[in-house]
Amino acid sequence: MPQNPEVEAFLDQLDHPLIDEIRAVRKIVLGVDKRITESIKWGGPTFSFEGNIATIPPRTKKAVQLFFQQGALIGARHGVLEGDGEQVRTANFKTMDEVQRKKAGLEKAIRGWIKVKGG
């Protein structure tokens, strides 16, 4: 699981009530496929594979929100993505228990993105 030192430094400085949950979601996303990369974009950790997969906007404090810019391409069958907009979907995690409960669905959603992108 390749971790970007820039993202690690960002998280080390981040004052967030759900920092452990953010780190857990990050670990899950990066663990799906070694080709997934991460950077700081749009003010938070952003995960990429053949384009942007999702961003964790740290301004959201009541949950860890994983913001899928083109989540509609992935579809809803994974049970973790929410929303009905033309493009955007989100996955929300309020507790570590919820992160663990939704882990398999999140992994399937990330794999769905990779499949859509031909990976």
SS (H, E, C) the chain: CCCCHHHHHHHHHCCCCCHHHHHHHHHHHHHHCCCCEEEEECCEEEEECCCEEEECCCCCCCCEEEEECCHHHCCCCCCCCECCCCCCEEEEECCHHHHHHCHHHHHHHHHHHHHHCCC
Domain 5-116 class, CATH top level: alpha beta
Band of the pLDDT at 1, cuts 50, 70, 90? low
pLDDT (average), residues 90-98: 97
Per residue in 57-79, pLDDT (tens digit) is 999 999 999 999 999 999 777 78
Task: Retrieve residue 111's tokens.
Answer: 């794999």
pLDDT at residue 7, as a whole number? 97
User: Does the pLDDT value for residue 108 go beyond 70?
Assistant: yes
Query: pTM for this one?
Result: 0.94
Band of the pLDDT at 3, cuts 50, 70, 90? confident
Alpha-carbon span 43 to 116, nearest angstrom: 26
**Residue ranges covered by each domain of the chain:** 5-116
pLDDT at residue 118, as a whole number? 84
Band of the pLDDT at 2, cuts 50, 70, 90? confident
pLDDT at residue 22, as a whole number? 98
Task: Retrieve residue 51's tokens.
Answer: 């384009």
Cα–Cα distance list, 66 to 87, 110 (Å) = 14, 11
Alpha-carbon span 65 to 44, nearest angstrom: 11
What residues have CB less than 8 Å from 16, skipping those under 6 apart? 22, 58, 61
Per residue in 15-54, pLDDT (tens digit) is 999 999 999 999 999 999 999 999 999 899 999 999 999 9
